[in-house]
Structure 1
């Protein structure tokens, strides 16, 4: 029997995404089992940056409810195009310039890249004006501990406490936890598990003063197993789900 091609998806993109999601789900489930954790302890965020809104809609049909973007100029129109998907949660994960904040708070439910006082002030003012509460993760630059500061943004570990207090006290903002990207330099280069374990230690310290700030976002396509093993609550996966970007028009 010949399978009919969906006229709305002639290239079989939905089937491709479904297969990739299933593989990522297997990886997360296996990592949770190996770590003695429940599968429900880890939330998958699909990083849809550079991919079209049509992929976001297909992912939603496949059960994905959390997606992430890193550039406002791409994210804002995409979020607007998917505005009818009211149960979709948008995360902003890129370095955020203050002049983009007003736009970002209109669609982002959570900003994972909070790393400086001025950004907190701008986010708070924009969130209040938009009459929204925006969740915030403090992005931690673990390479800063060894003086090998990269270009991915983030606050040094010794700056977390002060920045967390600022977020917690800011109108319109909610302190949700910490985020990091595995360092490419410094003492944690090539040691993703150790990096994520260090982030978990910092999360424990943070939760002493802010018990509700229990979200730990770490791990991507290449190192999600290490993040789950360390205790991450959220993993950010792009390539393993979306693959190589399809040619557009």
Structure 2
């Protein structure tokens, strides 16, 4: 854990927080309303440990195999950390049991079948003492079905939210979306804001809106995002070969 890398990350953390603060001020919001989720995919556990030393507590991965190993290593490096790990990538149902062992939050629930797989996995993990509390989940809203990036069709989100909220092993916390690669991000985030309002109206505890990444976090915050997922702006270019 070089001093040079720590300094590099410290500068990035300060820059990202300054961007979030400025975006919140421009939107007439309080910076405390928006969390920064550090997306550590392809980066080593030591980078996550350094970010934890700098005050970061929320980390995200998008591949179960990489995440499982990284979380275990991070736990050894920082056993007293209050870090919470989020799964933001698509989850195969046969990987649900493993995800439930390490993830505090799954942000990519996009179907009743996946919700049921995670419910069963959370129940097993709770019974085995591998979890202390139900699994928090977000419903992923599909904003562009042509891209194959996962996500529940917008018209089906309320029903899926109801399904999740009816379980004891899962806790509905809100919605997540990725802006389309093609198309107007402003329109996408505005659409997500409308959907999030509907979900929050039916389920007041589901107030999280996870939207915005390194390149578009300002626009997401302007449309009500409460959690931005930042990788490149914090950590730079990819460091590891995908596992």
State the TM-score bracket (shorter-chain normalisation).
over 0.9
Gapped regions of structure 2 (runs ≥ 5): none
TM-score, normalised via structure 2 length: 0.92
SS in 1 for 2:168: coil
The partner residue of 2:223 within 222, 226, 230 is 230
Whether the 8 Å contact between 1:45 and 1:66 is mirrored in structure 2 is yes
Write the distance in 2 (CA, Å) between the matches of 1:48 and 1:92: 11
SS in 2 for 1:136: strand
Write the distance in 2 (CA, Å) between the matches of 1:217 and 1:128: 25
Q: Deviations over 1:47-97 (max 9, x none)?
A: 000000000100000100000000011000111112214400101000100
Write the distance in 2 (CA, Å) between the matches of 1:46 and 1:59: 8
User: How far did residue 197 of structure 1 move?
Assistant: 1.5
Write the distance in 1 (CA, Å) between the matches of 2:83 and 2:201: 31
**2:58 corresponds to which residue?**
66
**1:34 corresponds to which residue?**
26
Write the distance in 1 (CA, Å) between the matches of 2:150 and 2:240: 30
Write the distance in 1 (CA, Å) between the matches of 2:137 and 2:84: 14
CA separation of 1:105/1:86 partners in 2, compared to 1, >3 Å: closer, same or farther?
farther
* Cα RMSD for the two superposed structures: 1.3
Write the distance in 2 (CA, Å) between the matches of 1:134 and 1:81: 22
Structure 1 window deviating more from structure 2 (215-224 vs 162-171): it is 162-171
Whether the 8 Å contact between 2:52 and 2:81 is mirrored in structure 1 is no
TM-score, normalised via structure 1 length: 0.90
**2:236 corresponds to which residue?**
243
Whether the 8 Å contact between 2:34 and 2:227 is mirrored in structure 1 is yes
Mapping for residues 1-249 of structure 1, pairs under 5 Å: 8-9=1-2, 12-83=4-75, 84-131=79-126, 132=131, 133-144=134-145, 149-185=146-182, 189=183, 191-246=184-239
Number of corresponding residues: 232
SS in 1 for 2:108: strand
Whether the 8 Å contact between 2:42 and 2:239 is mirrored in structure 1 is no
**1:5 corresponds to which residue?**
none
Q: Deviations over 1:179-223 (max 9, x none)?
A: 0000124xxx1x212211111110111112111111000000000
Whether the 8 Å contact between 1:114 and 1:139 is mirrored in structure 2 is yes
Structure 1 runs of 4+ aligned residues shifted over 6 Å read: none
SS in 1 for 2:212: coil
Gapped regions of structure 1 (runs ≥ 5): 1-7
User: How far did residue 245 of structure 1 move?
Assistant: 3.2
Write the distance in 2 (CA, Å) between the matches of 1:247 and 1:76: 15
Whether the 8 Å contact between 1:180 and 1:217 is mirrored in structure 2 is yes
**1:4 corresponds to which residue?**
none
Q: Deviations over 1:124-182 (max 9, x none)?
A: 011011114111100001224xxxx2111001101101111111112310000000000
